[in-house]
Amino acid sequence: MPDPGKLDELARRLAAAVPPGARAIGEDLEKSFRAMLQSAFAQLDLVTREEFDAQSRVLARTRELLERLEGRVARLEEAAGLREPEAGRAGEGRGAGRG
């Protein structure tokens, strides 16, 4: 959900954009705009920037761990004779184009 202060500011801007003749009902319009915006944003599955950034960090750490584990499994398989040795180490070159 967006910051309530930003939502109020957007509602004020919308109310200010109403033609001068209709501004007499400006406060009512602002309340109506605010309610409409809150309803519209509530229907969207939004997250805050902080939540998004936190999940991005978790995803980056998870990718790093996965790549290390893939390399470890490849080395164990090589040692057990279950896999032919690769020219480069497993995990190298991975992640290109991810972002």
pLDDT tens-digit profile of 22-68? 667 767 777 888 888 888 888 888 888 999 999 999 999 999 999 99
Whole-model pTM above 0.85?
Answer: no
At residue 1, does pLDDT exceed 80?
no
Distance between CA 33 and CA 27 in Å, rounded? 10
Decide if pLDDT at 97 tops 70: no
Dist CA 10 CA 44 (whole Å): 17
13-27, 38-52, 84-98: which range is least confident on average?
A: 84-98
3-state secondary structure of 84: coil
- What pLDDT does 89 receive? 52
Give CA–CA dist 66/70, Å, rounded. 6
